[in-house]
Amino acid sequence: MGGTLLNAITVAIGTAIGLLIGQRLTSKIQETVITGLGFVTLVVGFDNAGATGNVIIPLLSIVLGAIIGEILDLAALLERFAGWLQTRFAGGDNASEDARARFINGYVTASLVFCIGPLTFVGSLLDGMGQPIGFQQLAIKSVLDMFAGMAFAASLGIGVGFSIITILVLQGGLALMGSLFGQVMTTPMINEMTAVGGLLLIGLGLTLLDIKRPRMANFLPALIIAPLMVAVATALGINIYPL
């Protein structure tokens, strides 16, 4: 959990700095910063998507994950939670509709960006297993997230800071899984989960660039389906990686 706590602290620092900077930036600068983050997110997403050994696995994972996510409507659940946070801690019913929407957008966007990348999953699992490299990976992620938090908070506001809750819950849960089940996670399982995470980051990049606004939270089950497919195929003796 040490890496997760460090990550939460750096995001808090980055958000605080971003809020101070954001008050001095024009709307045009804020828009350009978000566009730049969109470019970077796309690059990272494409790079991570290439980790797959068989594109059929992330394809099926995305399709099945999207169906499950739409049935559960995870995007709406995440937005409602963000709305509750805004009502409870950030102005409540007195806030304007624009302020409320900005808070929700900041929380949801930051939560997804901070918690989908491969360092989140691999680093948290290894950290939970007590592997020093896991903490090192989360330390690197923490530095990156601090600067991303600065940029997001400058443009999207205080909702970004509340993504700390998502970080603590998700990465903390992954660290717990690592301590309990980490030994069964094979390299192919992690690679396919990384590839699916890359595809989700591409979707987030499209959102940040205002090209398309898919309900990205509804794709999150795909991150669980991908390693499960690898585990099932391995157990059945099916070779999922073509020569």
Number of domain units in the chain: 1
Rounded Cα distance between 218 and 215, Å, is 6
Round to whole Å and give the CA distance between 91 and 104: 13
Judge contact between 149 and 160, C-beta under 8 A: yes
Q: Does residue 239 belong to any structural domain of this protein? A: no
Q: What is the pLDDT at residue 243?
A: 61
Closest CA relative to residue 179, chosen from 124, 140, 141 = 124
pLDDT band at residue 6 under the 50/70/90 scheme: very high
Whole-angstrom distance, CA of residue 200 vs CA of residue 58: 10
241 part of a folded domain: no
The predicted-structure confidence for 151-199, as pLDDT tens digits, reads as follows: 889 888 899 999 999 999 988 888 888 788 767 778 898 889 889 988 9
Residues of the domain holding 106: 2-234
Which residue from 215, 6, 227 is spatially nearest to 235, judged by alpha carbons?
227
Flag whether 76 is in a domain: yes
Other Cβ atoms within 10 Å of 20 Cβ, number = 12
Whether residue 114 is contained in a domain is answered as: yes
Task: Give per-residue pLDDT as tens, 124-158.
Answer: 887 888 878 778 888 888 988 898 888 889 888 89
Question: Quick check: is 243 in a domain?
Answer: no
Question: How much is the average pLDDT of 17-41?
Answer: 84
Maximal C-alpha separation, the chain: 61
Token pair of 180 as six digits: 């309990």
121 in any annotated domain? yes
